[in-house]
Every structure is written in structure tokens, then in C-alpha cells.
Structure 1
């Protein structure tokens, strides 16, 4: 079977040789035609006495017509005529013994002319097929180029839409955060300006206190945004080490504010000796941010479930934190890990925030080679499940 396959490959390569000639430079094509004339004339000289028709000259005619089409046909007819004329002169001088040269030469010349026309027609057909194929390839390339441009436009549009959505979220967040202290500050200053002299000292001091507190709230808000932005722009390289997840979580829970953690029932379901490869400072910051959000948005006297899951010894370890809060709407899940994003329902609430906590969590998790995501049905009471995935120590 291999023998026949090799023969087939060899025959295919032989068939492709004439097509390969068409891609050669014109100088190489001219050299091939010249070499074919050397072979043809040698054959004519050696084989003419026994053939009488100059059939060996078919080779240069075929090659020249194939490479140069009708120009090659004209050139070969002129050269063949000269060749036969020189041979005839040699015959008249007795240098060639064959007297049937004239008949053989004429027959060979006419046959060569017909063969050359056929080869030129075949070459023209091959050129048309090649041109049609090139046009098809060009059209396909153009179609792919247009498709790629459309995809790039769609991607740019989606990125711009996402940027606009983040911008809107940021503006809503800032306007909400600034509105309350600005209102209190402006109202207090206006009252002091209009009625300051008629107010008793206690009332005047109270309005002044409100104005100062509002100013401090504004300054604190700006500081939080600047601090968070600095953290985002300069996250250091992670320094991972082996961490016992259960022990680490127990220590972290013990360092939370007592009155905040006491308001919830925490269930820790974590196997012993579950070791992750992570940066302790980064992991502590991520967990602190997640619990801070729980204390802000999840009703008290509810349960918090923390569990560790590892499908197999070499698989990543998941740390899942499930609460019983209001959940996250499905259309906002993809945005909560972006900069300055807060849920729409929280914008009108009393709880303040920069919208950067979860974004920082994502950056810290990725710096440790892990990832973070959230699962939520968006139904009140069913809560949210924040999942942290980190590499195990055994993979190091």
C-alpha cells in the first residue's frame, strides 16, 4: 500500500512540474527553453536518419509554447525553420546521407505548428483558471477583511458602551456620595449667613458643627477615592506562601470588630490541612473587603456560610462565602468588579462607598494567580455567593 502511495505522490509531483515553471522568473523560463533546444537539436542530429520527421524538436516547441504562449510558438517556428534549413544545407553538401529530409522536415514542421497551437490554447486555459482562482481568493480575503473590520467595530462599540456604562455608574456614585454632605454643608452655611446674628449661641454652634462634619465627610470621601486609586495603580507583586485556609480564616474572623461579627451567625466548613498558595496580605485584604460589604448590605441576625472545596488534590481550592442578603441583579453581576461601580439600589441608600472594593479584590486575586466571581439569583433573602479560587500548595 505504501508503495502505491509513493508512486502516486511521485506522479503528482511530475504533473506539477509544468505548473511550477509558470512561477519562475522569466530568465529561468528562458533558460529552460534554451536547454530544451539543446536536447531537441541533439536528438535531431542523432535520430534524424531513422525517423525522417524531426520529432525530437517537439520538446522545445512544447516547452516554449507552454512558457511563452504564442510568442514562444512564433519563436520556435522561426528557430525550427532555421534548424531544418541548416540541416538541409548539410544534406545537399553530402554531410547527411538521408534523401527523405524534405518530406520529413515539412511533416515535422506542420505537426509542430499544430502541436504548438494546442499547447498555447492549454496554457491560455490554465491562465484563465489561475486568474479565476486568484479572483476567488482575493474576494475571500476581502470578505474576511470586511468581517474582521466589522468585528473590530463591534468590539470597539461594546468597549465604548461598557466605558459609558462605567462612566454613568461613576457619576451616579459620586453624585450620591456628594449630595448629602453638600446639602447639609450648604444649608448650614446659608442659615448661618442669613440668621447667624439672631441665633442663640447653642443653635449657632450646632449649625457650625453640622457644617464642619459635612466638610469632613467630603474630605474623607475624596481621600478614600484617592487612596483607592493609588492602591489600584500600584499593586505590588504578590509574595505567595503556603497558607492553612482554616487557620487563616479563624484568625481573620477573630480580628473583625466584635459587634459587627456578633450580629451574624457564621458557619465555617473548612477541611483541616487545606493549603493554598497565596499572599497573606492580599488574601486578608480580599476577605476583609468581602466581609465589610456583608456588614454594610446584609441584614443582621442572618447566617454566613464559609466553605472550602477542592475537587481533587491538584485542583484549585475554592473558598465560598454565602450570605442571606438581598442578592445582586443579574444585569449588574458583570459590572460589580469594575471601577467605581455600585448597585443601582444602593445609590439611594444611606450606605456610602467608593465602588472600588470589589475591583481591588479582583486585582489582588489575579495578582496571586487566582480569580474571584459571584453567583446570585438576585432574589431577596437568597443572598450572594462570592467564590475565591486559589492554587493549591501541591501544584508548586
Structure 2
């Protein structure tokens, strides 16, 4: 099949990754970027495989009632940051729930009736202005932008509709050298802003374990004087009534609204935390869960591999030292390498929030070694959730509930909080 030959298909449903699934006349599956369920579209094949094709919708012949015109001019120009902005926001949530359910059925091999019984529709953040961290790319002439969808090309921007206003205000006045990747983060609690960046040569040196001594001003200029610059800069965000230090290199959720919804969902999934003797916050980051939903636990062990996040977690959990017999241990380690000590108290609840790749076999093995009767898994990818759920079930756990949250409106990203109990 020619990669430029136009074809007409009828899209069936959305799938993990954000494309719509359709079928070609020869029976193969087509994953179509830009199409919505029910639409008849003309497409152009990007990747022609034996069993499937990847394609892009080039013309919408019969649009869905759920199709809307993107409100952002940068999205209409090709910005890849909001790949679902042409999709009605209510329909986005329904599609994400179905994507999670289909992943559990197809990848996890769970019974359809069981999935329907345990899956729940959770809350969503506001569809605009929710992101407090964005990553930009410098352009020729000093402008900044976001990359196009599935491309290294950069679309120039002067604001971002899904970003906090503080960030849009900053990016309008800056100049960034070509190829430099600039990460901006703001605090909704204090309005502070941090900035850190890497140049192409820095990324090469980092791979070679070398550092650059070139002046920072050669890469980024025009930042307001009150912006905190560099890896040692940090902000303070408030979640669930707790002040959390977040260093510029540390991972944090898409924004405080997302963090609040996650904390609430984890609390619903693990009521045992209120009276737990020992709780484990695996992939604990800056201590989001340890500092909030685990406040009632007598002992907390936080496991995290990133140095900056461990540094933040120590600051965010130091208050436990003044809470009588409540203790906290922060372990810098890969979760897959950690084992409870022989004299460790039995673990009552494990909350695990791994990266997009999920627990995988090493993480599942570590969770099983912890021998906790309750495991709460926070997943940001429906396919990795399905794989992890199957592995945990094969190790003697039962999946009791799956709450689907929309923390990234206008994108196909979906978050799930899943409760497992030892069978």
C-alpha cells in the first residue's frame, strides 16, 4: 500500500494512546490520529504494517456530534500539546473510561462483567488553566513553542490555554536559544515560578557524564527577576492543607487540582490508612501521599529513586518527628530493589505511584515481598495498569475497584486509582 494513498474508513472507538480505531477493507486495524468515534474520514497512512496501519485523518467526511473546533489558535496551527482539543470534554471522559475498561479486558484478560462492576468514573480538573508545569522548546530567533504532534517541528506560541496564567505571562517576554528545552513551573499557592533548561550540548554531555560551564544567559533571557532559576530552586505548593516543597527537577502532578483529586481518590481507596501501623509510599516522589493520606499511620516508609524528590520528601515529612511515636523513613532506592528488613513492622497498606511504564515485574515482585493486605496502585497508563493488575492477581491479590480520573483534559492521558486486597 502506498504511504500517500488516500483511504476512507469509519472510526469505531478511541484506544490507548489517543487514536481512533477503524478497519480497512482488507480487515486490518487502522489507528487514526485526529478521528473520533463514528466519523467517516479520509486518511493518509504513516506506517504500513502487516497486521495494522497507523494513519492521520486528512479530511473529516462525516463529523461526530462530539467534534468541536479547538479554541486555541496554536492547536489549530499544529501544536501537539492538546491532542484531544477537537473532542468535547464530556465525551473525553467517557472515552477515557472505556479505554481503561477495554485495556483491562483485552490486555489484563479480566472478565467484562467484572470490569463493569468495579470501574468508577472519578472527578476531573478544569479543562483550562490547570497545568502548573510546561516544557517549551527554543526556536530560531529566540521564540518558544511546543512540538507538533508526532514531529520534532516546533509551533511558536505566546500563551497556553491549559497552563496557569503565571506561566503564560512569563513565556511572553522570554527569548530562548534554538533547541533549548525550558521547563517552567509555578505554584498556585504562592505564585512563585521556577525555570530550568537544558541545551542540546548539555544533554550530550549529560550522557557522557560531563558538565558545561557556559553562561546560562546564552540560552535563556528575559525571565522576570523573581523567577527562581536552576536545579536547586524550589516552590511551595499546598495540597490537602499541607505545604509541600517541590524542587525544579522533582516530579509533581499536572497541578495542585490534580494532586488534590488524587489524594482524595487514594483516601477513598485505602480507608485503612487512618489507623495503619505501617504504610509504604512506593515511588513516593516529594511525599504527596505520605504527607497527606498517611498522616494517621504510626510509621511511614517512603521509597523513591530521584535525589531531588528525596530531598523534598525529607523537608515535607520532617514534621512527623514532633508527632510522638509517629516515625518516617525515606529510602533512596529503586522500588524493585527494596526489601523490608527482618525487624520491620508488618506493612498494612502500600500505595504505589510508578512512572508511565507501571510496576512491571520488578515492581510487582517488590510489592509482593511487602506482603501487605491492601495495595493501592496509581497508574497513568491504562495498558500498564492492565498488565500490573494481571500480575498482582496472579500473585494472590484481588482487584476491588478502579477509579478513573481526568487530570489531563484536552489530552488522551488518563489516571487511575486501583484498590487490590490480598485474596
TM-score over 0.5 (shorter chain): no
Q: Would you tell me which structure has more helix in proportion to its own residues? A: 1
TM-score (norm 2): 0.23
Q: Normalization by structure 1: what TM-score?
A: 0.25
More strand as a share of residues: 2
Greater relative CO, 1 or 2 (CA 8 Å, sep 6+):
2
